[in-house]
Amino acid sequence: MPGPAVRAVWCESAWLDAVGVCDAVRVEVDAEGYVTGVLPGVPVQEGDVVLHGVVFPAAANAHSHAFHRALRGRTHAQGGTFWTWRETMYRAAGALSPTLYEELATAVYAEMIVAGWTSVAEFHYVHHRPDGTPYGQGTGGPHAMELALARAAVRAGIRLTLLDTCYLAGGFGQPPEDGQRRFSDGTAERWLERLGALRETVAAQYPEHQVSVGAALHSVRAVPERDLAVIAGGLPEGLPLHIHLSEQPAENEDCLRATGLTPAGLLRRHGLVDERLSVVHATHATDEDIGLLGDAHAAVVLCPTTEADLADGLGPAEPFRLAGATLALGTDQHAVVDPWLEMRALEHGERLRTGRRGHFDPRLLHGIASSGGARAQGRRGGGLGPGSAADLMAIDPHTVRTAGSARDQLAYTATAQDVTAVVVGGVLMARNGVHTALGDPAALLVAAIARLDAAAVARDKPGRPGSQDTRAWERP
């Protein structure tokens, strides 16, 4: 991580999971950035990083598509559905190059840091050139897009779990569409081969606590059943495995028609449902699916603000928890990059689904946002306990949003605007919305999105009506 190591972080007050909020808490940190001791009621010492307000464990983002950030606020004019939004997303993906993606991802990861996310699982499937030709053939080295994301994460100081994603089909029995060509390795065997080479390359360049590689299957509609069998036999044991699952009713219907099973049932058929599995969304999981995933102690990654933005529906969050699944949160398409709003949306979604309050208390919400997300990434979570990563965020309890709130109920009132400081591995990375190394993430985002817009326009046919419109992602 950037910056010098520190001896300790002193918190004006801090959330200690076992006892609640305590005052004057000194968090001792070792050279690797992990907590070695937590001392409440002690004075600050010279050299300590000082955090004012109430300090909480930082959040772990369990699901991200970094390039989707370029679509925020630009896909609503025509209304539509998830499926029409997806066409717009493909246009953005087609304009990416390694250089553009590194710039955009750096800005997105900086935005995450200042909001209080200190680690991220990047669900990455833009592997090849737009025509499907692998990087490494001709000019440019192999893994160009993947290593661009790794460099972006290191610059921003966020811990990255790069989920290299298998994406082989355009639907059940369908070849990849033109917009999906650069996502596909052609066969499961070639994807496994490239995944193994990528793991070796990343391990040689970065320490695991900074950048690690996991695996993902885009969805059961994008990975044919014959390839699921190959992958089940070829994945390294214990490697984190993520998949979009039952996000849309149409996915369930298509899977039942093609295989006679739900997506979760299809994964079980091939031995892919276990503790290392993280299913993303699971909005339309059946009661049987919930029991299956809960019994396996799989993780369920919920992205409440994205699921609302795309009109996906309200998923069964509390039933999953009661069944034995680990819950985690993600920002997915980055309609919002705010762990506090995701926590609150999780509780509000259950209230709307059931008509009653109080499904997730603050202790549960903070655990889901921090340790749940870290577990889905296969890494140690941030927190204020010995052995935890010293990843922390401080909240101002006296803003117009938080004034009057009980300190142990800030999960129901705070937003990322109230985050006054963020620490990663004991190192101060952000103060009052400004990244200590990169400055204002808004300026980075404006520049990166403008360059991506220009690249998208250049890919359009010359003279196309509206090609210079600043709403570059919207189809006429």
Q: Would you name the residues annotated as active-site residues?
A: 281, 332
Q: Is 132 left (phi over 0), alpha (psi -120 to 50) or beta?
A: left
- Cβ-contact 373, 59 below 8 angstroms: yes
How far is C-alpha 193 from the chain's CA centre?
25
Please state the φ and ψ torsions of residue 459, each to the nearest 5 degrees.
-80, -20
CA 445/CA 457 separation, integer angstroms = 18
CA 418/CA 338 separation, integer angstroms = 11
- Cβ-contact 396, 402 below 8 angstroms: yes
